[in-house]
Amino acid sequence: MPNDTIIFASIFGGCALGALLATVLKGKAMRVAWAGFGCLASIAMLALGVGGVFAESARHIPLWTVPHVGPVSFSVDHLSGFFLIVTALVAIPAMIFAAATTSDEKARKTPLAPLSLVLLASVALVILAADVFLFIVAWEVMSILIYLLACGGPKERPGYLMLAVGETGTLAVLVALLLLGSHAGSLSFQAIQASSAGLSATLVEVVFALTFLGFGVKAGLIPLNFWLPEAYTAIPSPIMPFVAGATLNLGLYGIMRSNMYFLPTTFAGPGVCMLLVGAVTALIGILYATIADDFKTLLAHSSIENAGIITTAFGAGMIFLSAGHKAAAAMALIAALYHLLNHSIFKTLLFMGAGTLERSANTRSLDEMGGLLKRMPWTGLFVLVGALSISAMPPFNGFVSEWLTIESLLRSVELSSMGLKMVFVAAGAAIMLTAGLAVTCFVRAFAMSFLGISRSEKAANASETNRAALSTMAAVAVICFVLGVVPTFAIPALDRVVAPVAGASGSTALVPTFFHPDTDKLPKKFTAEFHDLGAQIGKDAIPARGMVVMHRGGKKNPVVFAMSTPYMFVMLVVLLAALVLIVRLATKNRKVSRRPRWDGGVRRFLPEMTYTATGFAQPVRVLFEAIFRPKVSDRRESIAQHFRMSIQRKREEIHLIDRLILYPLAKATKAVAAVFAKMHNGRINAYAVYALLALIIFLAIAAAL
């Protein structure tokens, strides 16, 4: 189709041309090429994605045949369409932001523009790839590009760490995909999908374990997520919003693709595994986010948390599916996809904010910020929107998806197996604790950077960023708001993605029976308003889709849950306005006197005396001491043993995963290496013996064969 040609030419040709131009051009022209071609490719992806989601069935586009490998092809189905849309929504503002905030000096040092444009193309390639060969190639290109970006910083460790862990994951994925391919007799995803029903239980378990581990690396799931905070702080901040918003998703894309399409959905095991791993990841992620001092590290840990929430919802969906609860499954999957979309959006926004803060205040440490709202009011507003969204506060998007997630976890009462119910209870408790801690975390992140007084010289001299960067942040903030107020527009689209897999529409199946269009107890005109998850109440008042998200429980708990974010938003506005009005009226005759702040009466009030970010997180540190297990060491200095001059306290927190998994592993490796090191004793006759032994063994084998 010519249509496809134009679109693919815009995506891949646009990125290539943009990368080329951005390498050649300098200054403003480079920025324009960067942003322009980035947007062009993203818009083409958006078009392709929308077409994919709303098409009836998957579309396969064969490309060419690679010798020794076979035909390679693209395909656009519902799932890849959805991920294309998410990537495009993130990429359009993120590319403009990147172009607007990269200084000329930085652009000269690292080729950010070409790298990021090629990264965008590789992300599209991963999503579009429809066979194992192309998928792995695209995946590797993407990994290497992120590695190159992470190496731009002053330290090499984050990049190497990421590459090492990432390659482990890729290997696991490759083995799993090849296993599937050999079973299907073809490397194309279409064939793998078609033969999924015939997989043996053992093979399903092995493939699930390998793909979950392998894709989990990119998604930031435990245990292989220790690279993520380091890499996220090392990647240059202009491009970080895109990396955070688009590439973490690919891990989740892999998990979803393999579990929804490649593996049969009749086993409960993978779902339980994802549910538990997701819940634990979420909890650990948010705990470390809450105590992080570096703003970007905080956001990285919070990405881990959100990946955990998405995986939990997805796992819940897979469990429901295996137990035959199609409607509940559809709802849980919708929750997972919606949260994924939302997380990409608000994490992009927050990383834009973090990058702006780093550029303006010249620090990433929350302890050194403070009082920035006065200097950067707009950035402050947008970061506030991001923080409210991520802490699941209405009227922003995080609220809707976390509400749906928790509701779908509650649907577990319908399951018949007691064991599964217990798993859901545990996961649900962890997710709710996570949601609570997320509020603490982002109250801290916003308050410690923007409120109070500046706690360092650098913060006191910060200034607002440029208009282009601000307008991209504004655009993303608006998306957060729109997705939070009118989710009833987004949910039917998501329903299209999950319905073929779940075998039921999450929308129609969840309308209460007494409102169901088929019922004849109520007038047809009335029940017509209730035909999907976004029930159409109020259609006459507002000429648009329904404004209420409602769904009911199954037979065992025929409760109807309903939530209407637009009405809630209207009520919030009305109540807030009323409050302001009442306060105004009540205090109309009041005399206001202004006095300096009460500082405890000290002679010289120092910024360090105010509440710091570290101090704010202390309660969480103390409460979860059993998890953090800090190493506290005191150093005392005294004169003549009796006169204490100073006590220095050092507190070191080693990440749980490092402590429990990595360090013992490293220790074991070193011990093994030490044994082998003994063989290298430097004596020439010993080496001669080794050579002789090797020769004998070889000859023996050759003789035996």
Partner 1 sequence: MSGWIIKGLKSGVVSTHYPDGGENAQGVSPGLPSPAGGVGVDTPIGRCPTSALKAKDGGAALDKFRCVHCHRCDRNVEPTIPWDSSYEWAEKRGKTPELPKAFQRSTHIRVLDAGDCGACLNEMKLLNNPFYNMHRLGFFITPTPRQADLLVVLGPVADHMKTALLKAYEAMPAPKKVMSVGTCSATGGVFEDGFMTSTKLEDIIPVDVVVPGCPPPPLAILHGLLLVTGREDEIRSDATARPAADSSGKEAGDA
CA–centroid distance for 120 within its chain: 17
593 forms part of the interface with partner 1 (CB under 8 A):
yes
Q: Is 647 exposed, middle or buried (0-12, 13-18, 19+ CB in 10 A)?
A: exposed
Distance CA 418, CA 412 (A): 10
543 forms part of the interface with partner 1 (CB under 8 A):
no
Interface with partner 1 (CB under 8 A), residue from 68, 525, 598, 685:
598
Q: What angle do CA 48, 51, 52 make, to 5 degrees?
A: 85
589 forms part of the interface with partner 1 (CB under 8 A):
no
User: Which stretch in 37-45, 242-250, 557-565, 601-609 sits in contact with partner 1 by CB under 8 A?
Assistant: 601-609
- Map residues 549-588 to x or -, x wherever contact with partner 1 holds by CB under 8 A: ----------------------------------------
238 to 267, contacts with partner 1 by CB under 8 A? Answer: none
594 forms part of the interface with partner 1 (CB under 8 A):
no
Q: How far is the CB of 613 from partner 1 (least distance, A)?
A: 24
Interface with partner 1 (CB under 8 A), residue from 154, 185, 543, 596:
596
Interface with partner 1 (CB under 8 A), residue from 586, 602, 674, 675:
602
- Map residues 378-397 to x or -, x wherever contact with partner 1 holds by CB under 8 A: --------------------
Q: How far is the CB of 592 from partner 1 (least distance, A)?
A: 11
601 forms part of the interface with partner 1 (CB under 8 A):
yes
Q: Quick one: 185 or 601, whose CB is closer to partner 1?
A: 601
Side-chain half-sphere exposure of 288, counting CA atoms within 13 A: 29
Interface with partner 1 (CB under 8 A), residue from 457, 599, 625, 637:
599
Interface with partner 1 (CB under 8 A), residue from 524, 584, 588, 595:
595
642 forms part of the interface with partner 1 (CB under 8 A):
no
Q: Quick one: 555 or 603, whose CB is closer to partner 1?
A: 603
676 to 695, contacts with partner 1 by CB under 8 A? Answer: none
User: Which stretch in 176-184, 245-253, 384-392, 593-601 sits in contact with partner 1 by CB under 8 A?
Assistant: 593-601
Distance CA 133, CA 121 (A): 17
Partner residues linked to 75 by β-bridges = 60
Spell out the residues 6+ positions from residue 556 whose beta carbon is closer than 8 angstroms to its own. 413, 414
3-state secondary structure of 633: strand
User: Which stretch in 167-175, 222-230, 565-573, 600-608 sits in contact with partner 1 by CB under 8 A?
Assistant: 600-608
Here the tokens at position 2 are 């010519």
Here the tokens at position 122 are 């590789």
Interface with partner 1 (CB under 8 A), residue from 590, 603, 649, 678:
603
Q: Quick one: 594 or 649, whose CB is closer to partner 1?
A: 594
Distance CA 518, CA 495 (A): 21
Distance CA 101, CA 94 (A): 10
Q: How far is the CB of 618 from partner 1 (least distance, A)?
A: 20
Distance CA 265, CA 404 (A): 22
Q: Quick one: 525 or 604, whose CB is closer to partner 1?
A: 604
- Give the interface size with partner 1 as a residue count (CB under 8 A): 9
Q: How far is the CB of 615 from partner 1 (least distance, A)?
A: 18
CB 41 within 8 A of CB 11: yes
Residue among 83, 70, 317, 319 nearest 191 (CA):
70
Q: Is 689 exposed, middle or buried (0-12, 13-18, 19+ CB in 10 A)?
A: exposed
Distance CA 317, CA 307 (A): 15
Distance CA 59, CA 56 (A): 9
Spell out the residues 6+ positions from residue 102 whose beta carbon is closer than 8 angstroms to its own. 31, 112, 113, 236, 238
Query: Which residues here bind partner 1, judged by CB under 8 A?
Result: 593, 595-596, 598-603
